[in-house]
Amino acid sequence: MVIVGAGLAGLTVALHLADQVPVIVLAKRGLGESATAWAQGGIVGVLGSDDSIESHVRDTQDAGAGLVDETTARFIAERSAQAVEWLVRQGVPFTPDDSGPLGLHLTREGGHAVRRIAHAADATGKAIHDQLLAAAHAHPNIELRERWMALDLITSRHVQREEASRCYGIYALDIDARRVEALAAQAVVMATGGAGKVYRYTTNPDTSTGDGIAMAWRAGCRVANMEFIQFHPTCLYHPQERSFLITEALRGEGGHLKLPEHLGGGRFMADHDERMELAPRDIVARAIDFEMKKHGLDHVWLDATHLGEAFLKEHFPTIHARCLLLGIDIAKQPIPVVPAVHFTCGGVVTDLQGCSDLPGLYAVGETTYTGLHGANRLASNSLLECVVLGQTCADHILRQPQPDRAPLPAWDESQVEDADEQVVISHNWDELRLLMWNYVGIVRTTKRLERALHRIDLLRGEIDDYYSNFRVTRDLLELRNLVDCAELIVRSALLRHESRGLHFSRDYPRTLPVSFPTVLIADRPR
């Protein structure tokens, strides 16, 4: 088995497979560099006596603005307690509370009716990732490969078989050795995360370049809902920290969004939603964007000073310490914040076992569209999805019969040479991310989207020409994947003639009474 990605989704699948089959896990950078490790808030668990499956499903549907698949939401909510319990058994050091269910402290985040978020202070993702990575390192059946990047899937057309297409493995680049290897696999699992780096400003790590989405799309798989790119409302606004997230839980515990003093310094969320700071992320992000544009601001303020220094240090030690290093004492002064791209709500179409359209290819986590997130993801549902569907994916793989093996063709570099300069890659990377930020942001218009698509087509031509003539590098492969994801986002946005959830169009400001996922089907595998 080959798993592409070493975050929570990939490690969950690996740990559930490894007792029975050998597993290779590829990480294109260091093993510790994943979106999971950056997650601050926590993981949903329907655990408390004041909570219920119905309440969690309802909150997920409300956040998803009418596009959540209820069957998916219920399936995952019903397994949320089991998911948290599994992480506890793995040794994840969640913040304790002797009076809480499972002895855990539960916090509340925007869009949730009750406290149901298990967390490890304000660094939950890192606590989970560190523990599962240690377990994977210790397992004799798991091989962890750092600085290995998947290029493309090996399918029936590569092995020249006249059959319904299936996946036989992947081509992967050993970055340090500068060689491409064909890796055969009974199953390939894409757990590469989202595509946040297609935008100039994002809370995502450098690994989030949409690799799994792009590879599956090129292999002929459907993708869905790519227009729904979640902007987290509160990213720290500071020249030295452009990707530092200020967790949803800070507002969940009572933080207030405010205008600057010269505009009165008052709270503004009441003008946008009755839930105020606890409204879902899409509403809060648009509200901040509106106030910034209305008043010509670079940022707004998130004020938590009234919560007290002791409380902030206990519950948000990472944020407190990081901000203090930058000269911001959050116990005494508000935090400057702006929205930034945070989560890709669409992706590769899969079922609840992670199966894609291509037999032998699975996908789990942010890489996928399962129907859970709809038009907007509810806070802390992302880690939950990784654990629940990571287990069901592994279970499905183990139930499948061994496919016929086929000799895999070696990667052909006979017609290419080393690139003489890298400026084309860096220039196109910067141009792509800037045009996506300016034309395909929180508020969109048809004219902006059409302009973006035209420029993406031109960039694709340059990138494909470069790819055809020079040996592959990680930067080139990531750029190739990002331009594919950019096209999918824009094409999906052009197809949605309404405003819903994370997609807001000035040309179509109304929400239609009935709506469906935006599904794109590849003309042919590439």
Beta strands in 91-241 (DSSP E): 106-107, 117-118, 142-146, 148-155, 167-174, 179-184, 188-190, 223-224, 229-236
In 3-state terms, what secondary structure has residue 184? Answer: strand
Say whether pLDDT at 180 is over 80. yes
Q: Write the pLDDT tens digit of every residue in 494-505.
A: 999 999 999 999
* pLDDT range class, residue 470, cuts 50, 70, 90: confident
Q: Per CATH, is 235-339 categorized as 3.90.700.10?
A: yes
Q: Write the pLDDT tens digit of every residue in 17-34.
A: 999 999 999 999 999 888
The DSSP symbol for 173 reads E
Q: Mean pLDDT lowest for which of 5-9, 158-162, 453-457, 475-479?
A: 158-162
Active-site residue, selected from the candidate residues 281, 322, 433, 496: 281
The DSSP symbol for 422 reads S
Q: 364, 390 in Cβ contact below 8 A?
A: yes
Separation of alpha carbons 93 and 319, rounded Å: 18
Structure-model confidence comparison of residues 85 and 165, the more confident one: 85
Q: Write the pLDDT tens digit of every residue in 269-284.
A: 999 999 999 888 888 9
Percent of the chain with pLDDT over 70: 99
pTM: 0.90
Percent of the chain with pLDDT over 90: 79
Q: Mean pLDDT lowest for which of 160-169, 294-303, 332-341, 514-523?
A: 160-169
Q: 354, 362 in Cβ contact below 8 A?
A: yes
Query: Which whole number is the average pLDDT over 356-369?
Result: 97
Q: Write the pLDDT tens digit of every residue in 101-144.
A: 999 999 988 789 999 999 998 889 999 999 999 999 999 999 99
Query: Which whole number is the average pLDDT over 263-272?
Result: 96
Token pair in block for residue 525: 């595998």
Q: Give pLDDT, residue 200.
A: 85
Query: Which whole number is the average pLDDT over 343-348?
Result: 96
Separation of alpha carbons 303 and 287, rounded Å: 16
- For CATH 1.20.58.100, the residue range(s) in the chain are 410-507
Separation of alpha carbons 426 and 105, rounded Å: 45
Q: Write the pLDDT tens digit of every residue in 403-455.
A: 777 789 989 887 777 776 677 888 899 999 999 988 999 999 999 999 999 99
281 is catalytic: yes
Token pair in block for residue 324: 């203090």
Q: Give pLDDT, residue 243.
A: 76
Q: What is the dihedral of CA 359, 365, 368, 370, to 10 degrees?
A: 90
Q: Give pLDDT, residue 37.
A: 85
In 3-state terms, what secondary structure has residue 343? Answer: strand
Q: Write the pLDDT tens digit of every residue in 313-322.
A: 999 999 999 9
Separation of alpha carbons 336 and 198, rounded Å: 24
410-507: what fold? Methane Monooxygenase Hydroxylase; Chain G, domain 1 (1.20.58)
Say whether pLDDT at 260 is over 90. yes
Q: Give pLDDT, residue 399.
A: 95
Q: What is the mean pLDDT of the chain?
A: 93
Q: Give pLDDT, residue 422.
A: 74
* pLDDT range class, residue 526, cuts 50, 70, 90: low
Query: Which whole number is the average pLDDT over 454-469?
Result: 92
Separation of alpha carbons 45 and 75, rounded Å: 13
Separation of alpha carbons 259 and 272, rounded Å: 14
Q: Write the pLDDT tens digit of every residue in 88-109.
A: 999 999 999 988 899 999 998 8
362 contact partners, CB below 8 Å, separation of at least 6? 13, 187, 188, 189, 190, 350, 353, 354, 355, 356, 393, 396, 397
